[in-house]
Amino acid sequence: MRLTPLDPWLVERMGLSELRPEDVSAWQLRELRATLAWAKAASPFHARRLANVDPADLRGPDDLARLPRMTAADLATPGLLAVSQDGVARVVSLRTSGSSGPPKRLLFTEADLARTLEFFVVGMATLARQGDTALVLLPSRRDLGVADLLSRALPHLGARAVHPAEGWTPADLPALISDQGVSVLVAAPAQLRTLLDQAGTSSVCRACLRTVLSSGEPLSLGLRVQVESAWGCEVFDHWGMTESGYGGGVECFAHSGYHLREADLLVEVADPATGRPLPPGQTGEILLTTLGPRALPLVRHQTGDAARWLLGPCPCGSALRRLGPVQGRLGPGGAGVTQPAKGQGRP
Ligand SMILES: [Zn+2]
Cβ–Cβ < 8 Å for 168, 195: no
Q: Is the pLDDT of residue 37 over 90?
A: yes
Could you tell me the distance, in angstroms and rounded to a whole number, from the CA of residue 276 to the centre of ligand 1?
26
Could you tell me the distance, in angstroms and rounded to a whole number, from the CA of residue 127 to the centre of ligand 1?
13
Q: What is the pLDDT of residue 91?
A: 82
pLDDT tens for each residue of 64-87: 999 999 998 898 888 999 888 888
Q: What is the pLDDT of residue 96?
A: 54
Q: Is residue 10 part of a domain?
A: yes
Residue 99: count of CB within 10 angstroms of its CB:
12
Residue 305 sits in a domain whose CATH number is: 3.40.50.12780
Q: Is residue 251 part of a domain?
A: no
Residues 234 and 150 in one domain: yes
Residues 16 and 64 in one domain: yes
Q: What are phi and psi of 233, to 5 degrees?
A: -125, 170
Q: Is residue 73 part of a domain?
A: yes
Which residues are CB-neighbours of 241 under 8 A, at least 6 positions away? 248, 303, 305, 345, 346, 347
Q: What are phi and psi of 234, to 5 degrees?
A: -100, 130
Percent of all residues in the chain with a pLDDT value above 70, rounded to a whole number? 93
Domain finish residue from 207, 239, 271: 239
Residues 201 and 151 in one domain: yes
Residues 142 and 233 in one domain: yes
Q: Is residue 151 part of a domain?
A: yes
Q: What is the pLDDT of residue 339?
A: 55
pLDDT tens for each residue of 332-343: 666 667 555 544
pLDDT tens for each residue of 175-222: 999 999 999 999 999 999 999 999 999 999 999 999 999 999 999 999
Q: What is the pLDDT of residue 100?
A: 52
How many structural domains compose the chain? 2
336 compared with 60, residue with greater pLDDT: 60
Q: Is the pLDDT of residue 289 over 70?
A: yes
116 compared with 101, residue with greater pLDDT: 116
Return the top range by mean pLDDT from 14-18, 74-78, 100-104: 14-18
Q: Which domain holds residue 76?
A: 6-89+261-339
Residue 191 sits in a domain whose CATH number is: 3.40.50.980
The mean predicted confidence, pLDDT, of the chain is 91
Per-chain residues with Cβ under 5 A from ion ligand 1: 4, 252, 254, 314, 316, 318
Could you tell me the distance, in angstroms and rounded to a whole number, from the CA of residue 81 to the centre of ligand 1?
35
Q: 249-260 burial, b if ≥16 CB within 10 A, otherwise e?
A: bbbbbbebbbbb
Mean local confidence (pLDDT), 271-281: 94
Q: Is residue 95 part of a domain?
A: no
Domain finish residue from 188, 204, 239: 239
Residues 265 and 308 in one domain: yes
Residues 197 and 272 in one domain: no
Q: What is the pLDDT of residue 76?
A: 83
Could you tell me the distance, in angstroms and rounded to a whole number, from the CA of residue 256 to the centre of ligand 1?
7
Cβ–Cβ < 8 Å for 311, 294: no
Q: What is the pLDDT of residue 72?
A: 87
Could you tell me the distance, in angstroms and rounded to a whole number, from the CA of residue 258 to the centre of ligand 1?
8
Could you tell me the distance, in angstroms and rounded to a whole number, from the CA of residue 2 to the centre of ligand 1?
8
Q: What is the pLDDT of residue 321?
A: 96
Q: What is the pLDDT of residue 239?
A: 94
Q: Is residue 138 part of a domain?
A: yes
Residues 173 and 235 in one domain: yes
Domain finish residue from 239, 274, 294: 239
